[in-house]
Amino acid sequence: MTTVEQAGIEKGVQLGVQQGEAHILIRQVNKKFGAEAVAHYRTRIESAEPEQLEAWSERILSAETPETIFH
């Protein structure tokens, strides 16, 4: 396997992880705050880095409003 192929695989894995974490957070926001909150924050969630998604996923546990998750 070439270095370019390896880099492509690693990038694909990273993208898959990001998409999975975004999907979970979207489901959590929908369950807790409803479809309107999802519609408002979907783009921000889907473009976030995995580290940010992890932080938001932890904040949702104690959040009383969607705004407190994403500040």
Averages of pLDDT over runs of 10 residues in the chain (71 residues) are 86 84 97 98 96 96 96 86
What is the pLDDT at residue 17?
Answer: 80
What is the pLDDT at residue 8?
Answer: 86
Predicted TM-score of the model (pTM)? 0.83
Q: Are the beta carbons of 70 and 46 closer than 8 angstroms?
A: no
Counting Cα atoms < 13 Å in the Cβ hemisphere of 66 gives 20
50-59 and 3-33 are packed helices; what angle lies between their axes, rounded to 10 degrees? 20
What is the pLDDT at residue 7?
Answer: 83
What is the pLDDT at residue 11?
Answer: 81
